[in-house]
Amino acid sequence: MNFKNKTIIITGGSRGIGKGISQSFSDLGANIIICGRKTPEKIAKNINFIELDIRNSDAAQKLVNFALDKTGKIDCLINNAGGGPPVESHKASPNLTEKVVSLNLLAPINISQAAYESLKKTKGSIINISSVSATRSSPGSVAYGASKAGLINVTTSLAMEWAPLIRVNAIIAGLIKTEASSDHYGGEAGMKYLADNLPMKRMGTPNDIAKACIFLADSDNNYVSGACLEVFGGGEPPSFLKIAEEANNIK
């Protein structure tokens, strides 16, 4: 696939999943626009960075204007930035909840709206990075799970509303190994235990998500819109199986 001279915006593109997506599209010749709250120490060729917080009300237009100033167009927007700290729901402050919802749901809506006119001209596409937390219960991260679930609805709704000129798709990402995974999953031992209990016997990688983005961004796949592509290696085994196994061992 050739993305030479295509302009791809990737929010949160300097680390984790976003960095993998950025590098993959850059290798295919695309002009990359990324943003983040901190400027990275090193920025690869073909990658343009703007420092901003996408939760701010004026950030969406600033990001779009930056992309247009650099390349004159936008071919694909990838709403990747997201996250939220684990916290017991009864202890989550209203301020924290608002920040999590703003980052994972409101910002993608705002940036998509800001990029609408430019994407319409190029017949471009939007890819929203959602999560398995959107499709299963999400204890300890209620605002995050609810936001990612909302992002799926944003995807299917805009895919219908903005067709046929703009395609909108989502990726439902599974458990992905990044530089932040060690703290989240209990170190290397915790990640190995987790991987051993997944169907594919490994966690996903940013490159796995990047490959899915490349497929969805490819204009040859112009009938794929409103799709929510699960990239989770077969999913997570249901907890009742482990509970049943433990119950049988008690007998």
For residue 19, the number of C-alpha atoms closer than 13 Å in the C-beta half-sphere is 15
DSSP 24: H
Q: Which of 116, 109, 125, 111 is nearest to 218 (CA)?
A: 125
Q: Is 112:126 a contact under the CB 8 Å cutoff? A: yes
* Catalytic residue chosen out of the listed positions 116, 144, 185, 193: 144
DSSP 238: P
What would the two tokens of residue 169 be? Answer: 């798709």
79: Cβ–Cβ under 8 A, 6 or more apart, which residues? 11, 107, 108, 111, 112, 126, 127, 128, 129, 151
In 64-110, which ranges are E strands? 76-79
Does residue 185 have an active-site annotation?
no
List Cα–Cα distances, 135 to 81, 144, 146, 152, 189, in angstroms.
19, 12, 9, 9, 27
Q: Give the residue numbers marked as catalytic.
A: 144
